[in-house]
Amino acid sequence: MKVEIFTLCDAATSHGGKLNILGSFDMIIIKQTPIVYPSCSVAIKLRFEKIEEGNKNLRISFVDADGKPILPPLEQTFTVKVAPDLSTANANLVLSIQRLKLENFGDYSIDLAIDGRLEGSIPLYIRKKSQ
């Protein structure tokens, strides 16, 4: 399995095999905390080999710099099936998040696990806006 795209964004959709991403970001600059980010999405494109066909369990964890969860994990199951005339298949996944609450400035991590194995991490930086 290969992670081809893994990003936090303002919005995303998956339709007709296409992953549509709007406003990918890794930093939020604000005057004060806590912040409640109204709506965002995690967009993921995974590539699987034929030998990897079957049911998969995805888990996204948002954690602070100490590794403490800042919201319950996002989980989704999906099935990988490679067409007979192809050697690989992709899976486009979009997980929407409403009212993401961040208590403090600092560095956060968004971790991607498939079937219990960490496959990728991306940062989210919350910085104080200078006057």
Give 31-80 as a DSSP string. Answer: SSS-EEEEEEEEEEEEEEEGGG-EEEEEEEEEE-TTS-BSSPPEEEEEEE
Element (H, E) at 81: none
Q: Is the pLDDT of residue 91 over 90?
A: yes
What average pLDDT does the structure give for the chain?
95
Mind listing the domains of the chain with CATH numbers? Answer: 2-128 (2.60.40.10)
Q: Is the pLDDT of residue 131 over 90?
A: no
Report pLDDT for 130.
87
pTM: 0.92
pLDDT tens figures, 11-64: 999 999 999 999 999 999 999 999 999 999 999 999 999 999 999 999 999 999
Report the C-alpha gap between 46 and 67 in whole angstroms. Answer: 25
Element (H, E) at 129: none
